[in-house]
Amino acid sequence: MVKKLTTCLIFIMLFGALAGLIYHHADSIHIPLFKQLSKKNASPKNTVVCAVVANINPRLILKMNIAVPCEDERQKKDLVGKMPRIKSVFITTMDPKQMKVWVVDRDYASIKSAFLTVVNRFASRPVKDVYFESFNYF
């Protein structure tokens, strides 16, 4: 009985420490939540989400979901069709050393700008901005 109680207390303490750590980092990252976006035409139904997973170096993996707001269904259809190519070009043309600096320094504006440049290179109509839905590196 004492062994079960001790195990339970240790689990609760570890869970609390993990929750505090997650809360601390989530608070310090300052990434706006996707649901809090209030752009005129940026609703989830008019948005294309791109999941990017890339090895920055052997010890750093970047996983991010980037939301691209669309003005209408025609632009959305265009971007959905071109998104695999956009994602591929973004991953293959990014400089791993520069990306590592951006990720470690949490320079989200530069990462967004680089992705937006690639999107606008392939999009029929220019996109004004992109947003992070999630951003993880480990």
DSSP 10-54: HHHHHHHHHHHHHHHHHHHH-PPPGGG---TT--GGGEEEEEEEE
Q: What are phi and psi of 83, to 5 degrees?
A: -60, -40
The per-residue pLDDT for 31 is 46
Q: How far is CA 110 from the centre of its chain?
A: 13
- C-alpha 130/C-alpha 120 separation (Å) is 11
pTM greater than 0.85 (yes/no): no
Q: Which helix (H) or strand (E) holds 60?
A: strand 60-69
Which of 90, 89, 132 is CA-nearest to residue 109?
A: 132
The per-residue pLDDT for 115 is 94
Q: 33 — alpha (psi -120 to 50), left (phi > 0) or beta?
A: beta
The per-residue pLDDT for 109 is 92
Can you tell me whether residue 124 is helix, strand or coil?
coil
Q: pLDDT in tens for each of the 138 residues of the chain?
A: 777 778 767 767 766 666 555 555 544 444 444 444 444 444 467 899 999 988 887 888 889 999 999 988 999 999 999 999 999 999 888 888 888 898 888 899 999 999 999 999 999 999 999 999 888 888
Q: For the chain, what are the domain ranges?
A: 1-30, 32-137
Which residues on neighbouring strands pair with residue 136, listed in sequence order? 63
